[in-house]
Chains A and B, each alone.
Chain A
Amino acid sequence: MERLAKICKKQITVTILAILCGFLVAAVILACTGYSPADAFAILGEGIFSKPKYIVNVIVKATPIILTGLSVVFAFKVGLFNIGAEGEYIVGTIVAVIIGITCDFPPVIEFLLILAGGMLAGALYGAIIGFLKAKFGIHEVITGIMLNWIAFYAANFVVTLDRFHQPDSSSTYEINESGMDLIYRFKMSESGREAVKNSPLLLETVGKTDLNIGILIAVAAAILIWVILRKTTKGFALRTVGFNKEAAECAGISVQKNVIHAMMISGALAGLSGALMITGVSHKIMTLAATENYGFNGLSVAMLAGNSPIGAIFAGLLFAGLFYGGGSIQSTIGAPSEIINIMVGTIVFFVAIAGLFPMIVEKLGKKVAKRG
């Protein structure tokens, strides 16, 4: 029993148990509303794995939330809750579109310029949150949420501007082709078109999807963040601030400076996520009625990942799979696809109450011991 309790305290066990609990709660809700959970989960699985196209789509969907997840992870290491990832993501898309439409440099330079612009925008937006926290002690959750809505309306505002608005649509013009993703430009080039046409596998995985190099950048970012946090002096300073502010101050590590730096890096990651969405998938921004939740889903990713940068890759893939496959639950058996939102919320809830699992085992252990 003691060993079992020890196992229950491990991060990976908590993660798996939380996911199981998420499925269990979803199953109960589905059963109560008259749908077969078995059918729903089977469809969910098919919607993710049955075609190479689906798997590629999951990867495409995972890219932005892995990066926003990393953004949240990074801030959390410094004891900050970056709920503002949503807004940082949005300003990333705004600046990416503005650069992509107004500038027209040679292909790779344009692409990199867009990414840099998106990151800078996100970094500055994050810096506002960090600055207000460091100088005025305003809780980052409140500022973050307010800035999310301001970014949301700013995006809708940019769409209405004559310079960017595509007539007779609810979106901006597309960015110049020089700024688009490498795989997209290959696909659209003559030799690329030929290659895609002649290979059924390429047609399925590249031709019919928005596959882009973003996932490689996301994975590289995860590794880089892990290295920064674990292997550099800056990372050590940041984590010290996260663990114990007083100790950090005593050791000569400035809390204020590190809070602002952390929010800048965190914001840059979310901004990168937005810029990659523009270069790789949407190529423009649209007027939206509600936020797309890439930032908020990043929160869930970070929670499930147990604040591990590498874990964020897997958590991002899992949630992307759930959200993508969840769409087919609604189209096939009619159960509201929002069951996935409930499931994800439940998973995060069980991660939050991770202390429950070893507690149950210990109580059971005591009971067993009494009987024995």
Chain B
Amino acid sequence: MGNNILLLLSITVMYATPLIFGAMGGLVSEKSGVTNIGIEGMMRLGASTAVCVTYATGHPWAGFLAAGAAAGVLALLHAVASVSLKADQTVSGIAINLIGPGISLFMTRQMFGVTNTPAVPAKLPKIFGNKASEGILGYFNFDITVILALLLTIAAWFLFYKTRWGLRVRAVGEHPQVADTLGISVYKIRYFCVILSGILSGFGGAAMTLAIISNFTPTAISGHGFIALAAVIFGKWKPFGVYGACMLFGLAQALAILLGGADLIPSQILAMLPYMLTIAVLVLFVRNVSAPKASGVPFEKGQR
């Protein structure tokens, strides 16, 4: 029993990690006032880039960084559309969700001839080394990405609430006109935050393919970007709240996996669990949400 609980916890943490990266990406973009529903497409591009680069170079860290870079470039498109050109941010996000997976599949097919890639030569390391998987310690031998995700959350909290930069970002997200009169460049902050959101989402995709499943398949990222967005809402736009929300979704996934082995409930029904939980959580717990006020509204300099 104790072992089962430990196993449940370790799987929870494992599956929450890509979500945390994606959700922090969504958070940073929303905080600056840009809705980014393209997280899914950026995570998928990150997932495939990570595998391709790791496969080509043999270094998983190179793959991890490349994933961030590729998704960052994709996010730049979203930034240009939604900040400079004042496009409808939902439509632009949809386009990103088409372009990202399109490039992913194009790239993997070009490189491997198929879209289900072979396993990468090396995964990202685990905190106690890849071999220490015996005894109680084995359950706590997390992927390094788990630690990175936690550090990222702490960093996000510190940056948003304890630094001048964070205050500026929040001001831009709440009331860009006021921020503008104080001499803060709304455009610059939004560009930076949207690109950063892409980089983080790319890391999230890489955390899936380089730490959890070790190869890329077209379903490696299946709705994770959107669950991450739901986590941002459920976490009420606060880093630790978002972190907790991701853990809850990780728990749903872990339950689905563990109960699936028991054969009590059909696996297809269990697979619905994380998605049902997302809706249930939003219905039951999210009232009087406090989204950044200017989120989704393009900023026009000089307009009140």
Chain A residues within CB distance 8 Å of chain B: 29, 33, 81, 83, 132, 136-139, 141-143, 145-150, 153-154, 156-157, 160, 289-290, 296, 299-300, 303, 336, 338-346, 348-349, 351-356, 359
Contacts and interface: CB of A to CB of B under 8 A. Distances in A.
Nearest to A29: B106
Contact of A336 (B88, B105, B227, B282): B105
Contact of A349 (B90, B99, B101, B233): B99
Interface in B81-108: 81, 85-88, 90-92, 94-103, 105-106
A351 B92 CA distance: 9
Nearest to B37: A141
A336 B94 contact: no
A341 B287 CA distance: 38
Given A136-B286, A352-B92, A355-B85, A145 B223 contact: yes
Closest 6 interchain pairs by CB? Answer: A345-B98, A341-B102, A345-B99, A349-B95, A157-B268, A336-B109
B290 interface: no
B88 A352 contact: yes
B275 interface: yes
Given A160-B268, A336-B109, A342 B85 contact: no
Contacts of A139: 233
Contact of B91 (A156, A296, A352): A352
Contacts of A346: 95, 99
A344 B98 contact: yes
B269 A157 contact: yes
A147 B227 CA distance: 12
B222 A290 contact: yes
A153 B272 contact: yes
A348 B95 contact: yes
Contacts of A299: 94
Given A141-B226, A157-B266, A343-B102, 10 more contacts: A132-B282, A132-B283, A136-B287, A138-B282, A153-B268, A157-B268, A289-B219, A340-B102, A342-B99, A355-B85
Given A143-B279, A146-B230, A153-B272, A338 B95 contact: no
B272 A150 contact: yes
Contacts of A160: 266, 268
Contacts of B268: 153-154, 156-157, 160
29 contacts: A81-B90, A138-B283, A142-B233, A143-B282, A146-B223, A146-B226, A148-B223, A149-B222, A153-B268, A153-B272, A154-B268, A154-B272, A157-B268, A157-B269, A160-B266, A289-B219, A290-B222, A339-B106, A341-B98, A343-B102, A344-B102, A345-B98, A345-B100, A349-B77, A351-B91, A352-B81, A352-B87, A352-B88, A354-B87
Contacts of B233: 139, 142
B110 interface: yes
Grouping DSSP codes into helix (H, G, I), strand (E, B) and loop, the A interface class, with mixed when no group exceeds half, is helix
B66 interface: no
B56 interface: no
Nearest to B86: A355
B278 interface: yes
B85 to A, nearest CB: 5
A147 B94 CA distance: 17
B271 interface: yes
Contacts of B103: 338, 342
B95 A150 contact: no
A29 B110 CA distance: 12
Nearest to A299: B94
Contacts of A359: 85
A156 B87 CA distance: 38
A155 to B, nearest CB: 9
A303 B90 CA distance: 11
Interface in B275-302: 275-276, 278-279, 282-283, 286-287, 289
Nearest to A155: B268
B138 interface: no
B226 A145 contact: yes
Contacts of A349: 77, 81, 92, 95-96, 99
B172 interface: no
B210 to A, nearest CB: 21
B121 interface: no
A160 B269 CA distance: 11
A97 to B, nearest CB: 15
Given A338-B102, A341-B102, A342-B99, A153 B230 contact: no
B229 interface: yes
A345 B102 contact: yes
Given A150-B276, A156-B268, A142 B94 contact: no
Given A142-B278, A355-B85, A355-B86, A338 B109 contact: yes
A153 B269 CA distance: 7
A134 to B, nearest CB: 12
A359 B219 CA distance: 39
A153 B271 CA distance: 7
Interface in B169-225: 218-219, 222-223
Given A145-B226, A153-B268, A336-B106, A352 B95 contact: yes
Contact of A33 (B110, B275, B276): B110
Contacts of B37: 141
B91 A132 contact: no
Contacts of B80: 353
B138 to A, nearest CB: 31
Contacts of B91: 303, 348, 351-352
